[in-house]
Structure 1
């Protein structure tokens, strides 16, 4: 039946999201969701917004939410863009800033081991790109390799799926050297130990910082993300958004996101809890012989020198623990393991110890 498809639809290699199993009583450590519920203020805000106003279109500008984000990052509302999760914000950035058919010698640059949605967007928007190899061994991003002509630079910081982070001074040096194209920093996991580049947007008009409320604020089910940048870049994003969907965030999502941003104490407490559990889990995995990359995210990326990643993943699944593995060169033996509650991570360590021993 694909005779009705366009050549573009045939050519796409869609992103494959992490498994969302329908089996009860699983320990789900495969999609980097927050193990803790949203702030109680979020639940109350959703309840309050669930009224007759749902018959009306939501605020197309999400003005209250933008104002709250702006206040938190000490910028104006003109510096803020919001969308349905950071994935939609990223999707709008491609047609806004990365040319369809640039000089082949000036591709969009991003790491060869990074968020696998990036090449999908390139295929959808016909963007010429090049995957820049990460360093051997550490799998860290080598910023020196990005100091060349390009159509844009796209960096996940912390990177996914590795969890490694770039210090802010290195990002600033890249911005100082790269002034002719947009540098997009995807900060989906920044709240778990990395430094945000959001404070640099007034200094560097080509910097676009993208964040999400899915991870650190427990709102993966609501789909809310945002960008912070110079107002000139925000205007371009708004033009693309309003040519695609003028009402991206529904009323409940706006209410939930606003409450999550405003409850700073709950946000900090849950992030600290996850970081504490992560560090304890890393130490326990290392004691079992795992090589664990330094993580500034709510997940770890690890392998065991004596056991294949596929074998360990299957062994965990047999005991009801779901983790993610990418069957790709250089990383096929790594497991990406979301940090869950203390109890969930204790169960993980127990099963890993059994698998390594057996």
Structure 2
């Protein structure tokens, strides 16, 4: 039975092997890489990326990265391409083909088909002298001296090298397009960053839980309203205009200060001029306000007109923090 130290030693060896292979890629970068980036950037069509076996899995990941960073891309499985899927390649598209050896039977069949319409072909291969390397317009040299596994057989370092070159393409293209965090958010509206940059207060306001009392309401009415709406707060509203706010803390301080609460109204207890935010404001702005003032609720009002309460928990539930 292998002990824990042996397991950790093997893991460290694998990680170091892959990191060294990746670092070595820098010496293989040449004008073909730069020309590849320029060709993709200037293309009127999409980027079609293909591969077979493990390289196909890496190709799919590169497609996902490029799509999310502003370069329209599609995945074409090399085996399916020769059975009808080649139709997705259009005249203005650029093709990228991934293959460690560059000589697999599927690649030898596919490459001439990719080139027959005059599409630019970028090869990502460990063997520049392979069939793929010689047929490509540009070659990204994904050479690794060995794989990480002890048999030097399992695609490990080689697939990592392909992935890293794909990432390098994506980042270069992002920089050429001046791709911003706002652009990234547009492609990730469901993610935390997308929500933080795109979600507005009005988008997440719950109109069914809109605690409010009149200024002359009894303090008991205010306590009931706070309890029923479960937001730890109620707005004090007159003619649908916010005049103040009462929190759980205000109630506790009142009870500490008064032995008799008969006749006490909401106006007697409320905090005037509470912090507010509009429905059109970004949720990120609301979060910043809460953090700056160490509060967990914000009154939402447009031109003084009461719209509801935004609670920190609402923001947390969206995964924005």
TM surpasses 0.5 = no
- The higher-RCO structure (CA 8 Å, 6+ apart) is 1
Q: TM-score, normalised by structure 1?
A: 0.28
Q: TM-score, normalised by structure 2?
A: 0.31
